[in-house]
Structure 1
């Protein structure tokens, strides 16, 4: 615990930073015509080939861009660019969809003079529709990348679908006497229920690290960040988180034997956690972020399992939306989680308001609880008193607007 807290204290948040803060990256976005007016095609480019790591949706229906990205990475385990479009997911589109994803890759590679297998492809939008390749080709022709704030904003806008806000983050730490930064951008609002990844997330870093060790670090932090958020219980066909590390910071190569390996992992974790929470907060129709902290579980895995069950419960989500302090909804979610529980010894608190102690109801001020539930962030604490396991999960409330948005998603 002391080591983890020490490593966390070494991490600094860069409030105005993002994917262009790490040295050696450029990006941009344009309106290709896939959407009515907003930017819908974006690109991130590293000034030199970068180590890379990615995690993908576990859906049986992986979209064509994910297949092409995995093929690109398999060649040399390096990437130099990512081409992304919104409006069309290019999922469940058969051989034509695969060929269209390959064409996107080749067009982007030709535009920026890099090998095709150094380009990753990502798409988001409506499932089952074919790409408008004439617009894609024209859009890539118009794409330019740069290092200005507007370039980052153009990229971030281009990847959004039903999102109401852009999602970005940046953190830094000193390793080997140099500053290493990790910047991120993501999209995600609905169809969020991860299993290995969730939504589209892109991270850049100037750290020097091999793809092998970067992959290990990303998989480790994904389990406690992206895999711990849920909006609606549905996993997308296109979910992917991708990291590029171009090594320009000048540190010694990072691996588990490096004295600051834990600092780098914590740096990556903070970046992923920030994006994950921003996605949960921006759930379709959401008005509140729900953060669940579980302690006293038999293991960290079981604690995370319970947290995810609570975050994904429609009854908990609707109670939070209606500011109804019904802790019975939380008990119900815990009981069906499949994790080990002693039903005679559970504590539940809503913020600082204790509602259940040793599985015995505690009288609380309903007006005070209702007032607390009106906040934009609602914290739920659960203590199982069984072991040392702990974990967190994030979700959002469920409002009328969620139904309205998804009832007319294609129109």
Structure 2
């Protein structure tokens, strides 16, 4: 079987196992290792309250080379004060000692319940055991992907290749997140490896742009996590001439990274808490880009729209209501809407359409809602998912 996990790009090892953070016994500690060292780039939550892991990781992201990422799930290590910061640092120190590197060359990430101290004896033992199991196999990559999950029902993984200057470059990624997804210049937890030889500056630019147009376009419930982190590590072992300037090579790499992140974002939407389907909201003819973005997110976050989609109800009135109430400029006489390519509202007037056909479109795995505001020339989009009873059940029972 072809390896399409984080360990597929040259230079990477991974491991994942259970150390007892989760009462369920599911995997909850993972490590990615690049023994030769990797250039790293990252984006983080802009929530004013952040995990201790985010604070430490931001500092370590300044390092010229990174050799490992250690991740725990089941505990967010957020709102845990100085003890939480110390524990995040200890995680890096233990990994660094085991992997013969420096603590500031280790990234750390956490996800789970807020307000609880990490069970450090379990975590320390877990890191030691995970380090001993590091391997470059498909199974090792899958174990890591399972170790970062919380309310996810399945692993989200993606793999792309791109040929640059006669060298095949591999890019692999995994992400977790099913709720608390409404990020702003961040994402959930996302880890990407590549063997591209690229400068740290261009790697950061490519990641920021890719996340901004993919994972940052997804809203499940409009709520931004305290732990959002996306990290990419580049080992530089693919054999390509270094990508060190904005040219066709950097554009090809950036395009492949964007496609990978889009793949992961759609997997997240389809595995969102209680979700059964996803949709894309496309806004056109907005007064400016910011208003196009605002309108798209307003529709994707509108509970009545999400409930209608769950029920396969072609209730376009809720879409129009969401746009009209979000504070953007619209021309009521030019306002139009289509669902799955079928016009349901045009130039401020309802039009005849086959509701059964539109209901079938809405009930499919994925569809597109397009709204023209008639106020300008700008556009944007957003991904969303339906809202079911299961979302309420999952979040009502999450802590208990």
Query: Where on the TM-score scale, by shorter chain, does this alignment land: which range?
Result: over 0.9
Question: Which of 38, 54, 66 lines up with 1:50 in the alignment?
Answer: 38
Q: Is the 8 A contact 1:15 1:169 kept in 2?
A: no
Aligned to 1:154: 143
Aligned to 1:59: 47
Deviations 1:332-389 (A, max 9, x none): 2222333332221122111132101222211112222222222121321223344443
Question: Which of 122, 131, 140 lines up with 1:135 in the alignment?
Answer: 122
With over 3 angstroms needed to count, the CA separation of the structure-2 counterparts of 1:15 and 1:220, relative to structure 1, is farther
CA drift at 1:237: 0.6
TM-score relative to the length of structure 1: 0.93
With over 3 angstroms needed to count, the CA separation of the structure-2 counterparts of 1:179 and 1:340, relative to structure 1, is farther
Question: Which of 13, 29, 49 lines up with 1:41 in the alignment?
Answer: 29
Q: Report which stretch shifted further, 296-305 or 41-50.
A: 296-305
Q: Is the 8 A contact 1:156 1:167 kept in 2?
A: yes
CA drift at 1:270: 0.9
Q: Matches of 1:167 and 1:274 in 2, distance apart?
A: 9
Structural RMSD (CA): 1.7
Q: Residue 86 of structure 1: SS of its match in structure 2? A: strand
Structure 1 gaps of 5+ residues are: 1-13
Aligned to 2:6: 19
CA drift at 1:165: 1.0
Q: Residue 387 of structure 2: SS of its match in structure 1? A: coil
- The answer to whether 1:369 aligns with 2:366 is no
- The answer to whether 1:389 aligns with 2:389 is no
Question: Where has structure 1 moved over 6 Å in runs of 4 or more?
Answer: none
- The answer to whether 1:100 aligns with 2:87 is yes
Aligned to 2:280: 291
Q: Is the 8 A contact 2:4 2:138 kept in 1?
A: no
How do residues 151-230 of structure 1 correspond to structure 2 at under 5 angstroms?
A: 151-230=140-219
Q: Is the 8 A contact 1:324 1:370 kept in 2?
A: yes
CA drift at 1:25: 0.8
Q: Matches of 2:121 and 2:143 in 1, distance apart?
A: 21
Deviations 1:171-212 (A, max 9, x none): 111111111121100000011110111210011111111212
Deviations 1:78-115 (A, max 9, x none): 21110000000000000000000001111111122221
Deviations 1:295-341 (A, max 9, x none): 33344443333222211111111110111111111112222333332
- The answer to whether 1:353 aligns with 2:378 is no
Q: How many matched pairs?
A: 397
- The answer to whether 1:237 aligns with 2:223 is no
Q: Is the 8 A contact 1:294 1:383 kept in 2?
A: yes
Q: Matches of 2:357 and 2:288 in 1, distance apart?
A: 33
